[in-house]
Amino acid sequence: MQKSSPPESAEPDAPIQSPPPRRPNLHIQRYLITGLLTVFPLWLTWVVFEFLLRQLSRFGAPFVDALMVAMTRVFPNVERLFDIGSLRFSLAVVLTLLSLYGLGWLANRVVGKRLLTALDALIDRIPLVKAIYGGTKKLLSVLQTKPEGAQRVVLIDFPHRQMKVIGFVTRVIREEGTGRELAAVYVPTTPNPTSGYLEIVPVEYLTPTEWTVDQAMAFIISGGAVSPEEIPFDRQPVETSKP
């Protein structure tokens, strides 16, 4: 009987190639960046909050020193409590906040308004101080009210027509001779809005927005991360006040 030959064996499957091992440097770098992006908003919030607290404690430090002197005369052992740095810091912040609250309450009363008027008259006699104090006070005042003839928060063309920057209209003035309305626009920088530059722009070249000052400040400080879903870009007809 003829012996049957054994079946030919199939070709062995090609070995499965395992994915290349991840480079440990890339793995570590990715998680470090992820951790940094996670903690950065908290860190920035704390830096700003700590800065404000330290400024408040600086204003309240003289009150704490006066309180310590007064209390140690009656209770000598209390001086040891004031040696604790965190206690002095907390008391300074609390006293500053209470003082600000008291000033706000007094400013809304007749006596407080008279005192502020007298203070303004006194500062108005000091040349350099008058310029800084008066300019800052006017800027804070105009940001709280909508200017006549334009929106408060606007976009202006910079550095060319296809790019915009956010600005605050601080005043609407008129061009000499023609009477055309011009807007004084303060353009803050990111992320520090206290620095910036001033531009005089014809009102018809402004792109009005419906943003509040708080929304615009959040947009600037966050570098654009905090923003509405839609914003205007092309200019729309601006309603100007009649002369």
**Structure-token pair, residue 140:** 């804070």
- CA atoms in the 13 A half-sphere facing the CB of 62: 2
Closest to 150 measured CA to CA, from 236, 228, 70: 236
Quick one: tokens of 10? 């199939």
Per residue in 109-123, pLDDT tens? 888 888 888 888 888
| Ramachandran angles phi, psi of 207, nearest 5° | -105, 105
Residues 6 or more apart from 210 whose CB is under 8 A from it? 151
Q: Per residue, what are the HEC states of 111-156?
A: HHHHHHHHHHHHHCCCHHHHHHHHHHHHHHHHCCCCCCCCCCEEEE
Statement: the pTM of the whole predicted model exceeds 0.75: no
CB of 233 closer than 8 Å to CB of 205? no
List pLDDT tens digits, range 58-83. 888 888 778 777 777 777 777 677 66
196: nearest Cα among 231, 233, 160, 221? 221
Provide mean pLDDT across the span 175-195.
87
Residue spans per domain, the chain: 110-143, 147-222
Torsion of CA 162, 167, 169, 175, to 10 degrees: -40
Do the strands 164-174 and 196-202 form a parallel or antiparallel pair, or are they unpaired? unpaired
Q: In the structure encoding, which two tokens stand for residue 34, read together? A: 């992820």
Q: Which two tokens stand for residue 3?
A: 């012996």
**Distance between CA atoms of 81 and 90, rounded to whole angstroms?**
12
Class of domain 147-222: mainly beta
For the stretch 214-233, what's the b/e string if a residue is b when 16 or more beta carbons lie within 10 angstroms of its beta carbon?
Answer: eebbebbbeeeeeeeeeeee
Residue 7, pLDDT > 70, answer: no
CA 19 to chain centre: 47
**C-alpha–C-alpha distance, residues 47 and 68, integer Å:** 29
- Give the tokens for residue 102: 């008291």
Q: What is the pLDDT of residues 12-29, one digit of tens each?
A: 555 555 555 556 677 777
Percent of the chain whose pLDDT exceeds 90: 10
